[in-house]
């Protein structure tokens, strides 16, 4: 039988004959410095498997391939030779644990699944307006106050009960170790300067007016932003980042930078003073300058900062300062950034935001996305990422069905490049993963929903937005970038 492999290996050659293949098949392994990082070669012949790997990650990925061969060939497999290595070094999946909290056990299931498809970054969204989910020892109120909201009213659905949860530092270490064993780097995200309400609910001095604020219970973009003109607030952020750096041994740290309204800064003497002192002509520049300062602080600690593409607007950030995650932009600022040598992570809203319904983002659309096209500089695409925001994701079951199978399109693209195999061939490989995923406790969306016929797409979209959008959110603009523009 022919194995179903996902992601698609870069080179696969069939050799005549077939071998018995199961858990008991002998596997010999060796290392070769001639292979690219994370790369491996695998040969199945004479009822034996030979693996040659570039490094530990390469051997791990060879074993994932072997596992898929066993799972999809059922005892007898065509003899073959595979030579394989990823196109992109950064292949990520993202989970928002703020809007709805998903705990250690759920995350472990997702991480286990992601590793099987050779994803190697877990982007962990830990702080936002509706919840602060990370224990910070120096500032205990962040979780004492910021980890619980009295109710949840996303999209007008009133849940009618408090929503609470955070990760202790011991739990974070557990997740980091669980990921490391699967060659996954954890990239925590501490959102700044916007999406900061939960922090300000705990420590009101962080805001421009110092007035108390309540943790948010609805979806949207909120005016509560960090006062970047206040030295004490900036010191607070550095102290938090110190603890975050000590907890997460990885190379990257995400510091947000999206959807930060400017109204509070406009009315703030401290922020205006900082603009004057530093010769910053706009609020966009105030943000860019602050992100640059934080990135330099993190660099001293051996970390590279990642920021959402909005931070490029002020023009302060150069190719060496940060990695930029592109999700949506009116003016194409990531393109010149990439062309100047900057590294970009592609998380395109229209293709890789999996909180939206299949009617709006069908599997084929995600699969067909060419991440190398947007920046116009293929060598500057550093990574791809599938994102799962959870305002409207109220159960782990729903979370899984939104991610799977669409996340597999991201895994295929990040590993195999663009284009790879045909869409029908990809579908076959996806379907073969249903049972192995179910065995991990991860339900996959029924196939009938992956690519709805045109007459069913619109009703699916309307159903989603009817339940998801409130008049408030509509006033801000359907897509956040449009809402923010008015405030500048």
208 binds Zn ion (CB under 5 A): yes
Q: Within positions 12 to 41, which residues make up the interface with Zn ion, using CB under 5 A? A: none
Structure tokens at 214: 């309540």
What's the chain's length in residues? 488
Q: How far is the CB of 272 from Zn ion (least distance, A)?
A: 8
Q: How far is the CB of 233 from Zn ion (least distance, A)?
A: 8
> CA–CA separation, 206 vs 333, rounded Å?
30
Extract the runs of DSSP E, i.e. beta strands, from 116-267.
121-125, 127-128, 131-132, 148-149, 163-164, 185-192, 252-256
Q: How far is the CB of 394 from Zn ion (least distance, A)?
A: 35
> CA–CA separation, 15 vs 79, rounded Å?
5
- Asked whether the beta carbons of 218 and 153 are under 8 A apart, the reply is yes
> CA–CA separation, 116 vs 23, rounded Å?
16
Q: Segment contacting Zn ion (CB under 5 A): 18-26, 224-232, 240-248, 400-408?
A: 224-232
Q: Segment contacting Zn ion (CB under 5 A): 2-10, 42-50, 204-212, 217-225?
A: 204-212
State whether the Cα torsion 295-114-117-53 is positive or negative: positive
Q: Which is nearer to Zn ion, 223 or 315 (CB)?
A: 223
State the maximum Cα–Cα separation within the chain, in Å, rounded to a whole number.
Answer: 77
227 binds Zn ion (CB under 5 A): yes
Given candidates 35, 98, 172, 271, which one binds Zn ion under the rule CB under 5 A?
A: 271
Q: How far is the CB of 202 from Zn ion (least distance, A)?
A: 18
- Asked whether the beta carbons of 71 and 51 are under 8 A apart, the reply is no
Q: Which is nearer to Zn ion, 268 or 363 (CB)?
A: 268
What burial letters (b/e) apply to 356-389, b meaning 16+ CB within 10 Å? Answer: bbbbbbbbebbbebebbebbebeebbbbbbbbbb
Q: DSSP of 189-208, one letter per residue?
A: EEEESSS-HHHHHH-GGGBS
Q: How far is the CB of 136 from Zn ion (least distance, A)?
A: 22
Is the link from the previous residue into 405 a cis peptide, with omega within 30 of 0? yes
Q: How far is the CB of 290 from Zn ion (least distance, A)?
A: 11
Q: Which is nearer to Zn ion, 168 or 209 (CB)?
A: 209
Q: How far is the CB of 472 from Zn ion (least distance, A)?
A: 24
Q: How far is the CB of 293 from Zn ion (least distance, A)?
A: 15
Q: Within positions 391 to 410, which residues make up the interface with Zn ion, using CB under 5 A? A: none
Q: Which is nearer to Zn ion, 271 or 437 (CB)?
A: 271
C-alpha triplet 480, 481, 483: angle, nearest 5°? 65
Residue 351: which of 418, 425, 406, 428 has the closest Cα? Answer: 406
Q: Segment contacting Zn ion (CB under 5 A): 111-119, 225-233, 353-361, 480-488?
A: 225-233
Q: Which is nearer to Zn ion, 221 or 253 (CB)?
A: 221
Given candidates 268, 347, 409, 411, which one binds Zn ion under the rule CB under 5 A?
A: 268
270 binds Zn ion (CB under 5 A): yes
Q: How far is the CB of 207 from Zn ion (least distance, A)?
A: 8
DSSP 8-state secondary structure symbol assigned to residue 49: E
Q: How far is the CB of 223 from Zn ion (least distance, A)?
A: 12
Is the link from the previous residue into 75 a cis peptide, with omega within 30 of 0? no
Structure tokens at 441: 């406790």
233 binds Zn ion (CB under 5 A): no
Q: Segment contacting Zn ion (CB under 5 A): 7-15, 177-185, 203-211, 291-299?
A: 203-211
Q: How far is the CB of 204 from Zn ion (least distance, A)?
A: 13
- Asked whether the beta carbons of 380 and 344 are under 8 A apart, the reply is yes
Q: Segment contacting Zn ion (CB under 5 A): 25-33, 263-271, 313-321, 340-348?
A: 263-271
229 binds Zn ion (CB under 5 A): yes
Cα dist from 256 to 84, 142, 184, whole Å: 34, 18, 21
Q: Segment contacting Zn ion (CB under 5 A): 184-192, 200-208, 308-316, 389-397?
A: 200-208
> CA–CA separation, 145 vs 200, rounded Å?
10
Q: Segment contacting Zn ion (CB under 5 A): 92-100, 146-154, 261-269, 437-445?
A: 261-269
Q: Segment contacting Zn ion (CB under 5 A): 46-54, 56-64, 205-213, 250-258?
A: 205-213
> CA–CA separation, 427 vs 420, rounded Å?
13
Q: Which is nearer to Zn ion, 95 or 271 (CB)?
A: 271
The footprint of Zn ion on this chain (CB under 5 A) covers a number of residues equal to 6
> CA–CA separation, 354 vs 474, rounded Å?
20
- Asked whether the beta carbons of 137 and 166 are under 8 A apart, the reply is no
272 binds Zn ion (CB under 5 A): no
Q: Which is nearer to Zn ion, 196 or 392 (CB)?
A: 196
237 binds Zn ion (CB under 5 A): no
Site of interaction with Zn ion (CB under 5 A): 208, 227, 229, 268, 270-271
């Amino acid at each position: 039988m022919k194995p179903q492999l996902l992601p698609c290996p870069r080179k696969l050659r069939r050799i005549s004959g077939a071998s018995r293949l199961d858990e008991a098949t002998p596997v010999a392994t060796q290392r070769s410095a001639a292979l690219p990082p994370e790369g491996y070669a695998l040969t199945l012949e004479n009822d034996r498997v030979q693996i040659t790997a570039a490094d530990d990650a390469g051997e791990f990925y060879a074993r994932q391939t072997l596992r898929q061969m066993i799972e999809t060939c059922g005892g007898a497999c065509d003899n073959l030779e595979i030579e394989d290595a990823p196109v992109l070094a950064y292949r990520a999946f993202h989970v928002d644990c703020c809007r709805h909290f998903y705990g250690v056990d759920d995350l472990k299931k997702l991480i286990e699944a992601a590793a099987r498809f050779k994803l190697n970054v877990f982007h962990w969204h830990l702080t936002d307006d509706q919840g602060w989910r990370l224990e910070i020892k120096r500032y205990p109120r962040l979780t004492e106050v910021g980890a619980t909201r009295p109710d949840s009213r996303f999209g007008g659905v009133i849940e009618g009960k408090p929503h609470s949860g955070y990760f202790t530092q011991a739990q974070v270490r557990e997740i980091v170790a669980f990921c490391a064993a699967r060659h996954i780097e954890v990239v925590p995200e501490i959102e700044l300067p916007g999406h900061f309400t939960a922090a300000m609910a705990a420590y009101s001095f962080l805001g421009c007016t110092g007035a108390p604020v309540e943790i948010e219970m609805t979806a949207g973009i909120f005016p509560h932003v960090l006062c970047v003109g206040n030295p004490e607030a900036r010191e607070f952020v550095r102290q938090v980042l110190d603890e975050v750096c000590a907890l997460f041994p990885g190379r990257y740290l995400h510091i947000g930078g999206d959807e930060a309204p400017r109204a509070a800064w406009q009315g703030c003497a401290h922020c205006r003073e900082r603009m004057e002192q530093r010769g910053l002509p706009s609020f966009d520049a105030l943000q860019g300058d602050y992100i640059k300062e934080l990135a330099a602080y993190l660099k001293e600690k051996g970390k590279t900062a990642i920021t959402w593409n909005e931070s490029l607007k002020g023009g302060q950030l150069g190719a060496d300062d940060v990695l930029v995650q592109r999700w949506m932009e009116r003016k194409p600022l990531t393109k010149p950034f990439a062309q100047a040598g900057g590294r970009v992570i592609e998380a395109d809203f229209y293709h890789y935001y999996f909180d939206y319904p299949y009617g709006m983002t069908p599997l084929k659309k995600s699969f067909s996305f060419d991440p190398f096209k947007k920046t116009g500089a293929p060598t500057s695409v550093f990574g791809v990422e599938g994102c799962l925001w959870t305002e409207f994701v109220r159960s782990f079951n729903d979370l899984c069905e939104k991610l799977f199978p669409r996340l597999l399109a991201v895994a295929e693209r990040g590993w195999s490049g663009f284009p790879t195999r045909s869409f029908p061939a990809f579908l076959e490989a996806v379907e073969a993963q249903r049972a192995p995923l179910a065995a991990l406790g991860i339900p996959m969306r029924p196939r009938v929903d992956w690519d709805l016929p045109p007459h069913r797409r619109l009703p699916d979209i309307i159903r989603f937005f009817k339940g998801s959008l409130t008049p408030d959110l509509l006033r801000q603009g359907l897509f956040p970038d449009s809402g923010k523009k008015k405030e500048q």
